[in-house]
Structure 1
Amino acid sequence: MKIPSRLVPLMEDGLIDSVVRQLMSGKEAMVFVVRCGAETRCAKVYKEANKRAFRQAVDYTENRKTKNSRQARAMAKGTRYGREVQEQAWQNAEVDALYRLAAAGVRVPRPYHFHEGVLLMELVTNADGDAAPRLNDLAFTPEQARQHHHTLIQEVVRMLCAGVVHGDLSEFNILMGVDADGQACPVIIDLPQAIDAAGNNHAPAMLERDVANLRNYFGQFAPELLATDYGREIWALYAASALHPEVALTGRFERSRKAVDLDGVLREIGDARAEEAARLLRLQTA
């Protein structure tokens, strides 16, 4: 097959020996199966912004850091350089998330190298050594659905403990690979939209949506899962600094029915305003 131009530098540097075939073409990238010495890996080639369908919504990019103020100004103005910086930050988000999550024990493809819009990483395979299928291409018994749902909820917890929310988790970006014992094991992929849990105001809603997607998908095979509410339970524990990878979850969440002390809230607002006014007065008279 014709070698994609963006893979040529990796071949020239000896990181890739040969390109076997194209594995898939998605909304933000094309993925190729490649040979690297004795190993078969995959190379994710990110599409240019004007050639992909997935847009960098502000909900995802909120509070993403740039290297310097010049880059931040360029991104805000939407200049050509700013768009290039934003594109680089978008791609780096997945690379950073993969390394962080792999270190935290989350089952994601192992990253090996990233260069000029190409991410070289582990090829997730099934028990036969073929490229692993996505969840949406599979069907499960109720027992299997409960098992895989439980595993993925644990993975969501590990991700959040590592400070990451996937932001677009569903049956379309989870592969059914195998673990070290050859048993079926879900593997989470596609993380360019991953967000920082502590620095993004949309994190709670995105986490709840990720968990709801898992509930609705596996609920087709095990209907009792449709009555669970792990998303809000997980976030409540995280917000209370009580979340850890071994936490025991119930799948239930009770909203507080305690009446809001409106007068107390107004008093606190008034006190804060008075303190700010006093601070400004001190600055004016200093």
Structure 2
Amino acid sequence: MHPGRCLLAIDQSLPCGSSHAFPIGSILKVPKRIQPLIEDGLVDKVLGSLMSGKEAQVFLVLCGDETRCAKVYKDVAKRSFKNAVQYQEGRKIRNSRRQRAIEKRSKFGRDQQEVVWQRAEVDALYKLATAGVRVPKAYGFFDGVLLMELITDGEGGVAPRLNDISMSAEQAVRDHATVMTYVLRMLCAGLVHGDLSEFNVLQDASGPVIIDFPQVVNASGNNNAKTMLQRDVRNITQYYAQYAPELADSHYAEEMWELHEKSELDPDLKLTGKFKFSTESADVDSVLHMIDLAYEEEMDRQDRSENG
């Protein structure tokens, strides 16, 4: 049998109660990109599909006696993530041959651009874990497949996204402060998430865990970094403000960005959420750009809500 067409029965102990899990007893074709990991002993078994997003599909896999996630990135032709170029601005490419190929836009260059896009997530996971941000632990990146920790809830099942849960006002205030601290630490590490929302934060027994970083932005090298930081903070604040309305009046993004520009950021800084806005006339181009980004985000949000 062709190795890419190997079939496996779904494990009946699949720790997922979501609609993304395959029915017990069904047969799963091993994804072509995961097959080499099985042959190399990095993965023992594919348990099922956890979710399919705009840039990748995530599978539950068994590695020894531990259940992990295998994130299989979609080919660029199948990926629906919008405006990738504006996210890639400012990303450093250490390999000069790869950089030249990308600039020439040859087939090899386009392939290498995909590698850079995909590696951005695993690089961010390692960097942010060191910076004190709660993210899934990365176990390695193998030809378009990211092996990483499965975040679980208090009962051992797959941890839910914020979009799938509700909470008290007290918890909303507490968890919002935690996420703002993580956003601060990301900025201290030179990164902006770029797509932060209730769809990209999981909730385990210890609190929020931030996921999905392929679109991560270089805070100093990307001209859109400030706008994306503001959008990230606005999106996640709107979610928590459903339960604690007072959060809607906070201005954490502006507070953080001003400190960033002054080189006064500290990962352990206690943020206030307060900011004194300038009375000078607004930058119309920047405002219109923010409106465009907000519209695109709302379209993406509706797509994700409809597709689960």
TM-score where L is the length of structure 1: 0.85
Aligned to 1:216: 238
* d(CA) in 2 for partners of 1:55, 1:77: 22
Asked if the contact 2:89–2:218 (Cα under 8 Å) also holds between the matched residues in 1, the reply is no
Partner of 2:135: 108
Which one of 57, 61, 82 corresponds to residue 30 of structure 1?
A: 57
Cα offset, 1:30, TM superposition:
0.6
Q: How many residues align?
A: 254
Equivalents in 2 of 1:15, 1:74: separation in Å?
Answer: 31
What letter matches 1:186 in structure 2?
P
Determine if the alignment matches structure 1 residue 117 to structure 2 residue 152.
no
Change (3 A) 1:4 1:233: same
Partner of 2:267: 245
Separation of aligned partners in 2, 1:69 and 1:116: 20
Distance across 1 between alignment mates of 2:280 and 2:238? 30
User: Which stretch shifts more, 73-82 or 234-243?
Assistant: 73-82
Please name the residue that 1:10 is paired with. Answer: 37
The 2-side partners of 1:210 and 1:258 are apart by 25
What is the CA distance between 1:214 and its match in structure 2? 1.3
Is there any run of 5+ residues in structure 2 with no aligned partner, and where? 1-27, 282-308
Q: CA deviation at 1:38?
A: 1.5
1:90 matched to 2:117: yes
Gaps of 5+ in 1: 180-184, 260-286
Q: CA RMSD in A?
A: 1.6
Partner amino acid, structure 1, of 2:215: Q
Q: CA deviation at 1:63?
A: 1.8
SS in 2 for 1:85: helix
Say which SS state the counterpart of residue 212 (structure 1) adopts.
Answer: helix
Contact 2:192 2:219 in 1 (8 A): yes
Residue of structure 1 equivalent to 2:88: 61
In structure 2, C-alpha distance between the alignment counterparts of 1:232 and 1:10, rounded to whole Å: 44
Question: Can you list the C-alpha shifts for 1:230-254, whole angstroms capped at 9, x where unaligned?
Answer: 1100111111121112212211110
Paired residues for 1:1-286 under 5 Å: 1-179=28-206, 185-257=207-279
TM-superposed CA distance for 1:258, in Å, is: 8.0
Instruction: Tell which structure's C-alpha radius of gyration is larger.
Output: 1
Q: 1:73 and 1:14 mapped to 2: Cα distance?
A: 35
> Quick one: which amino acid aligns to residue 39 of structure 2?
E
What TM-score do the two structures reach when normalised by structure 2? 0.79
Separation of aligned partners in 1, 2:140 and 2:266: 30
